[in-house]
Amino acid sequence: IQFIIIENGHLTEIPNQSNRTSYDVDDNIEEIINLQEDEIFNAFYSYSSVFNDIELIKYQDVAQADNFKRINLFDNLPEIEYLKLNSKDDLSNCIDATSWDYHEIKYKIFLGNTIKIRNIALKNFTQTIDSDLKIFNYICSLNNLQINFYHGDFTSENTYRPELLKILQKHWKTKKVSKPLFRNLYFYKQPDINTEKIEYSQGAISEIIIRQAIKAQNPNDGERQNYKNVFLTAPTGSGKSVLYQIPAIYLAREKQLVTIVIVPLIALMESAVNDLIEKYNVENCAYINSSLTFSEREQTIQQLQAGDISLLFLSPELFISFGNLSFLGNRKLGLLVIDEAHTVSTWGQEFRADYWNLGNHIRKLKKYDGNQNFPILAMTATAIYGGEYNMVNEIIRSLKIEFPEPIILIGNVRRDYISFKINQFKPSAGNRYETEKKEKTKKYITASIDSEIKSLIYFPWVRTNNEVFARIPAKYMSKVVQYHGRLSHNQKRDAVYRFSKSLAIEACATKAFGMGIDIPDIKQVYHFAVSGNLADYVQEIGRLRHENDKNNNPIIKYAITDYGYKDLSYNKRLFFFSSIKQYEVRLALKKIHTIFEKKRKHNHSLRNFLVSIDDFTFITGENNEDKIKRMLLMIERDFHPYIIIRPKSIFSTVFAEIPDTVKNIFLTKYGSFAENIGVRKKLGGIYKIDLDKIWEHTFKNLTFPQVKREFFAKTLFKEFNKYEYKHPEYRTHTIYPNLKLSLELLQNTQTVISEITGYFENLKSVFSAIGRHYFSKEYLLKELKDIIQESDLRDRLVDYFLLLFSRKHEIQAQNKSPYTFLIWQYFDNEKKYLVDFADFARIKQRIIKRINDLFSTNKETISTYITTNSTGNAITVRVLYLLEILQLGTYELAGGEKPQIFIRVNDPDKLEYQVRNINKYRNTFITRQNKQFEWNNDIFHQFFSSKIDNKERWDFIEDYFLGKPVLEAEKDAENHYSVILESPQSENNGSQIAALIKNFQKIEVGKAYDSINLDFTNIEFLHPIFILPFSVYLRELNISCQNYEQLKGYLDIIHFFDYGIEINLDTDTNKVFDAFSNKNYIGLISFPVAGDEKLRSFSNTVVGKIEKLLIEKAGLAPNVMQGFRYIVSEVVDNVFEHSGTNRAWIFAQYYPTKEYFDLCILDVGKGIFGSYKDKGFDEIKTNQDAIENAITGNSTKEYNTERGYGLTTTIKMTREGFNGDYILISGDMLFFNDKIIQIPTSWQGTIVAFRLNKNRPNLDLYEYVE
């Protein structure tokens, strides 16, 4: 049976036709009304709201199984025939299609009410509104309603009131320009249709904004409702700030209105205020942020209320924390500006979780504060308009300003004065890609200094920035500065000062060099490698400000990149380091469900509840508040309105234990802010304290974050520390912060202890096999694979133990943590761990004991208070995390320093269904982000690899920003080829070869396409015969990879995406091999196989080191060691003698639990058939002939002087002596053990792989050597 749901694509919410009164869910969320849940109403409806007194509802989602299919009721509707509006006067008889009135008419038609309006006007065409009007027209025709639709191109006039120019000339004049004029800006006239532009001056844009602000203040309700919000994009350096500063000054002077500017960065708001005061003599501006003391903040608010300040800069967090606009006193808000609005969009790389609730807060202010009406001005330089990834629409929706349709002004993105110099980079033979790239960048910097060209050099990572900076010769260092996020505030400020004053003319920077930094005389921007997306790149090259020469002609500036095939690897690593994974969202959704069901046990009608950030730290680890918020946002966006998640204001109530000895003294001073909640601990009672009131009363010289920080650091009430105690935990601190802990076991205590003991025993067995050797995270995951089958659980457990039970290696560890059994240190930038077995046993006992102590009453549910940051509770915290990870228990912590998160579940059945089928759940938002990331990389590659001129590059950028297909980046399916890779079905070499050949076949088909995308979703078993050929095969192809997060760590460490570590005569081989000294594998190594005796000797030394490392790892017996070395050296000799190429590759791995080696050695030379052919063996006609002759001893060597039977010997020794596998691939032929098979693909060169078993006590090399 299949159920079909026909969806109403016209109304997402419909008028309430039930006999139950609905309410506005958002009113309830914002606690504007206090209501009793209507269980009957909730059984049918998931969401309700109120629009102009019309009650609107949304039904429960019944499609919660696979047998439901959705169909849109309004597909393939006819186009609208628009009538032309000849003048603005014609608008008087029309309803604006972007107004509230139009939406009210839609609801009236649904209810069957009579409507009088017959004319609807679409003043400026957009695809979104046109699509909605098509549905509206169809519905009207079904109801025999004749509606006329008008369309006219009515753009705002390029005029402004004269007072605005006077403001500009008063405040923006300089010594050079005594009477400045408004700059002209270009905007797209109809960006949905074409790239035609219209010119507006800064004054005209200011006029548009001012008119909306004045309309909002009009006491006429109808006029007030017709004001519109404004969304504006304009390039970096175009003067966006003037577009809100001029209106702010005018509105303050003429209407006594306040302008609030929401700014994401403290440095940005401080810079804006300082410039306004010092450069432009605008003194009625100020900022409030966490850097101010309480007294400073109060003084600013008093000045604001008195009218001395009218332009106020706030962070989004602080703006939301005010709750309402009462801090304005009797003044009214005239304009709310959201600067750098791209940080609101979850599509952007700079998305801030703190911006998440900004739109909901604005909606609440506008809806419920009747005395405050104001337009929103959202501004950014970085936003795509149109297309699948429409960032403009995303920002507008997030800010809740989509109705009525805002005025949208999309600024011209072209900067034709910037010329592109894009060079195709490929490292010289024998050089590593990244090494040569760094050297090339260093040479660019020194050459620019020699030529006195002021340049900004962008790096994707701080590490690459530091490494290139360290290469710069000492004589140039005075002319170069660094700028990145890890520098102190003073260091960054000094760098900007030196660069802006040309004391230094080169700046090595990361993306941190961006918002708020304006240096007009930069001549070139150079990218070591691009990151983010093309919009970010355009913003970065936008640091090249427009300048004119003496003849008023634009000075040409340059955006320079040496682009190579590996540049995008930096971007991929950045993305996967920061991105949220599907399994993390699944865990968070399950946690929400667990808490919800627990709270519903006592109140089944419950819908609203609070959770703490701490409830989710078992997923991400501590100090990841922003990531947790983003993770919850992903869930909310996927389930809204069925699940609504909102961060509440920062918690100001805290818990503390106050010992009896100081209770009276403490309560005498702070009693009005403290409440005894009736719980006793060892030394005294637990009190609930209103910390914000204590701050206002006693600590006005501090900021509230400082007060809170000192409270939890146990230094806020140090006045009581003179009352010492003998109890070890209270020796120096007498007021102790506490958290309220509610803990429930999901099974009985003994079962839980048994389960946890089992996991510790599993770990012990793996650790015992490792012994006193360092190991990596990837190795531990691999060794646990057969023991813990579920990959998500395995990942979480390993992360848990490595994060919470490890300490840094120190030569003299005098104060080692008592709760660690792992010691870590870095080996060649890789973190490795060593087990302290005595500590391991002790900690296991302490965890079991703590569980017994917590549940000594034999109850599976407890409620208690625990002391924060106490060594005594460190083991408790570890127990909580472990119970949650193993799904043996669930906990809640309340009253901590983390803000609370509000959740409302409007549709419990939908949540229950998703959790019941949690393994099938894929967050659509994350899936879409991953898809967009791959799309962005395709765009990057197309842009930087295409041979096109400067105009075509700007055409490309323009189309990209307007959501149009860009050159070949959005090709038809036949030009882009996707391959879902097949995984070997087992560790068996036959399975490995079969998968390798099938995947080669797929990619061979893809070679006819312009690009290939490899999907690693199914890849599981990876061995050298599969990995090494794959890595080398992909080396020269235009290939992108996706869905390899589960393999990423391992593939990175073995240098899969680097196509191996290139070793040459000048390589520090000790450093290379030290990196693998504590691993059971040697990463992909590329070594030279052509040259003189010196080079051959060097390569033999390299191979010898590989042999030595593997032999030491396995502890081979002398006889086995001899055989092993013989086989490896014979294969390497054959590569030297017969491959006819410059380099070969080797990859080797030892499997200690299975006690065998896998090695693969390959080249991309002439192959075995080519070697015979070069030696004149005319009777050998095919690859099959060649392999048959090679394995039977018919060598190409000189019979009288050389042995010539090495291949035959190594095969025999591998098969009989080592009881192993021998694999040989050359051309289209495969030799596997005893069979020669033709394969449906071809390898240019030769692949040799073998599996050797360790325990061969009877192996005798001399039985096989001929």
Give the Cα separation of 305 and 313 in Å (integer): 15
Whether omega before 647 lies within 30 degrees of 0, making that bond cis, reads no
Written as six digits, the tokens of 36 are 């009793």
Give the Cα separation of 792 and 854 in Å (integer): 28
Cβ contact 186:411 at 8 Å: yes
Give the Cα separation of 742 and 1193 in Å (integer): 75
In this prediction, residue 969 has a pLDDT band, given cuts at 50, 70 and 90, of: very low
pLDDT tens string 453-503: 999 999 998 989 999 999 999 999 999 999 998 888 789 889 999 999 999
**Residue 1216 gets which letter from DSSP?**
I
Helices (H) and strands (E) in the chain, counts: 41, 45
Direct distance between the N- and C-terminal alpha carbons of the chain, in angstroms, rounded to an integer = 72
Give the Cα separation of 1110 and 1116 in Å (integer): 9
Overall CATH class of domain 182-410: alpha beta
Strand locations in 291-417 (E): 311-314, 333-338, 376-380, 407-410
Using DSSP, state whether 894 is helix, strand or coil.
strand
In this prediction, residue 1006 has a pLDDT band, given cuts at 50, 70 and 90, of: low
The pLDDT value recorded for residue 1010 is 56
The pLDDT value recorded for residue 218 is 79
Mean pLDDT confidence for 534-561: 92
620 or 1203: which leads in pLDDT:
620
CA geometry: angle 976, 979, 985, nearest 5 deg: 180
pLDDT tens string 96-129: 887 778 888 888 888 888 887 778 887 767 777 8
Which range, of 166-170, 857-861, 904-908, 1084-1088, averages the lowest pLDDT? 857-861
Q: What is the pTM of this model?
A: 0.66
Q: Distances in Å between the alpha carbon of 90 and those of 103, 141, 208?
A: 21, 24, 21
The one-letter amino acid at 1038: N
Residue 255: how many CB atoms within 10 A of its CB?
Answer: 15
Q: With CA atoms as reference, report the closest residue to 1076 among 1158, 1163, 1149, 1143.
A: 1149
**Domain 418-577, CATH homologous superfamily name and number:** P-loop containing nucleotide triphosphate hydrolases (3.40.50.300)
Burial status of residue 349 (CB atoms within 10 A of its CB: 0-12, 13-18, 19 or more):
buried
Contacts 24+ apart (CB under 8 A), 945-953: 945/424, 945/563, 945/1038, 950/416, 950/419, 950/420, 951/416, 953/420
Q: Do domains 182-410 and 418-577 have the same CATH topology?
A: yes
Mean pLDDT confidence for 322-334: 89
Name the one residue in this structure whose structure tokens are 């502890």: 1115
825: left (phi over 0), alpha (psi -120 to 50) or beta: beta
Give the Cα separation of 1266 and 1262 in Å (integer): 8
Q: Percent of the chain having pLDDT more than 90?
A: 30
pLDDT tens string 1039-1081: 667 667 667 777 888 888 777 888 888 788 888 888 888 888 8
Q: With CA atoms as reference, report the closest residue to 268 among 517, 519, 516.
A: 516
CA geometry: angle 963, 969, 971, nearest 5 deg: 100
Q: Is the pLDDT of residue 970 over 50?
A: no
Q: Which range scores top for mean pLDDT: 161-165, 190-194, 215-219, 799-803? A: 161-165
Spell out the domain ranges in the chain.
83-151, 182-410, 418-577, 653-734, 746-888
Written as six digits, the tokens of 1123 are 């055989």
Q: Is the dihedral of CA 72, 74, 78, 82 positive or negative?
A: negative
969 or 739: which leads in pLDDT:
739
Which range, of 120-134, 135-149, 180-194, 950-964, averages the lowest pLDDT? 120-134
Mean pLDDT confidence for 296-301: 81
The pLDDT value recorded for residue 889 is 86
Give the Cα separation of 428 and 436 in Å (integer): 8
Using DSSP, state whether 230 is helix, strand or coil.
strand
Q: With CA atoms as reference, report the closest residue to 197 among 188, 206, 205.
A: 188
Give the Cα separation of 884 and 898 in Å (integer): 19
Q: Is the pLDDT of residue 32 over 50?
A: no
Written as six digits, the tokens of 214 are 């004045």
In this prediction, residue 1168 has a pLDDT band, given cuts at 50, 70 and 90, of: very high
- Which DSSP helix (H) or strand (E) runs through 285? strand 285-288
